[in-house]
Amino acid sequence: MATGPGIYDWAATQARRDTLAEGVILIVLNGEHGNGFSVQAPREVTEVLPDLLRDIAGKIERTCLLKKKQRPGHLARRECLQLTL
């Protein structure tokens, strides 16, 4: 992972300040500057980031599969991306 400000660092800073958070992970899909991400967090959080993101991905996948079972053929990909965990 690259260090230093990226193309969405300004947005991550805004989110961190607005929420008074200690850290923030921002993932941007099809944004003004394309896809990207920014992480602003203490070192101990960035060290466990891969495990944290795998856990989040698993939750999204399980939620999408559950929704598909409830409404076969009706769950669009965009609906999965809009899920809040």
**What are the residue ranges spanned by the domains of the chain?**
1-41, 48-85
Residue 79 scores a pLDDT above 70:
no
pLDDT at 17: 96
Higher pLDDT, 66 or 72: 66
Q: pLDDT tens digit string along 6-41?
A: 889 999 999 999 999 999 999 998 899 999 999 999
Residue 64 confidence class, pLDDT cut points 50, 70, 90: confident
- pLDDT category of residue 45 using cuts at 50, 70 and 90: confident
Residues 33, 37, 41, 46: is their CA dihedral positive or negative? Answer: negative
Cβ within 8 Å of residue 29, ≥6 positions away? 35, 81
Contact 67, 76 (CB under 8 A): no
